[in-house]
Structure 1
Amino acid sequence: MSIKVVVVFAVVAVVVAGPQYTPYGAPPPPTNYGAQPAEAPAQYNFNLAVKDDYSGNDFGHQESRDGYDTQGSYYVLLPDGRLQKVDYTVNGDSGYVAEVTYEGEAQYPAAQPSYNPAPAPAYG
């Protein structure tokens, strides 16, 4: 009987002394749903311009923002030769307000065949 008691105590000692594992579980849900940390209002200025005479690319963009007020403009050289300009503002919840203008006249060159077919063979 004493051997049984010693074996039981040994098994209990091994189980208690062994490493304790915590089962993996999902992290607890956040308590501040949708709350954003306090941040300073956005404020920035940027300007970008590309003019590549080789490929014909000509475009640019300028924008400045102070808090909820944003102003900017961008332009692009269209394939028909006109320059499209867009000036825009965003003031708070008023939405995006844009004024689009075009400079120049659209040019449509005469159509050119993309290849010159070889003459039909003549059999004599």
Structure 2
Amino acid sequence: MQLFAHTPWSVCPIMSTIPLPNSAAEKKRPQMYDINCGIQPGVFTSPPSAYKFDYSIHDPNTNDIKSQWEHRDGDLVKGAYKLLEPDGSTRLVEYTADKDNGFHATVTREDGDREPQEPPSGSAFPSGLDDY
């Protein structure tokens, strides 16, 4: 009997070498499948991708103020994110990662020039949506 399974790389056969059972003892024997299909995990033929992204949010109603950027070139990733803490200070995290040195981050805190803000009171939903 020959079955097929789809993988992202190909359609490869899964072979069952067990004949159809003729006795109760054979019925209890587990089936074994070869699911390797010749794929070697961790071996890539294309170079690592490159990308750049960034975003920021500035919502004074909820005090949600933050930003992030990240760039990748081959095996090197660099990035940073910054956010406003509830006490008015700003946290800045800058990081790098590569296959030789792993992930390294530097965290700094900048004292804020604003007073700490209380969370907004009331509902986060517009009027009339509180009942849902």
Shorter chain as denominator, the TM-score bin is 0.5 to 0.7
Relative to structure 1, the CA distance from residue 41 to residue 75 in structure 2 (aligned partners, 3 Å threshold; closer, same or farther) is same
Aligned length: 87
Which one-letter code corresponds to 2:77 in the other structure?
T
Which one-letter code corresponds to 1:67 in the other structure?
G
Q: Could you say which residue in structure 2 is the equivalent of 1:65?
A: 72
CA-based RMSD? 2.4
Query: What's the TM-score, normalizing by structure 1?
Result: 0.59
Q: Deviations over 1:66-121 (max 9, x none)?
A: 00111110011111111000111113220111111111159668xxxxxxxxxxxx
More strand by share: 2
* Pick aligned residue for 2:50 from 13, 19, 43: 43
Q: Could you say which residue in structure 1 is the equivalent of 2:109?
A: 102
Which moved further from structure 2: 45-54 or 30-39?
30-39
Which consecutive unaligned segments of at least 5 residues does structure 1 have?
A: 1-22, 110-124
Query: What's the TM-score, normalizing by structure 2?
Result: 0.56
1:81 corresponds to 2:63: no
Alpha carbons 2:86, 2:116 under 8 Å: kept: no
Deviant stretches of 4+, over 3 Å: 23-26, 105-109
Which consecutive unaligned segments of at least 5 residues does structure 2 have?
A: 5-13, 16-34, 118-132
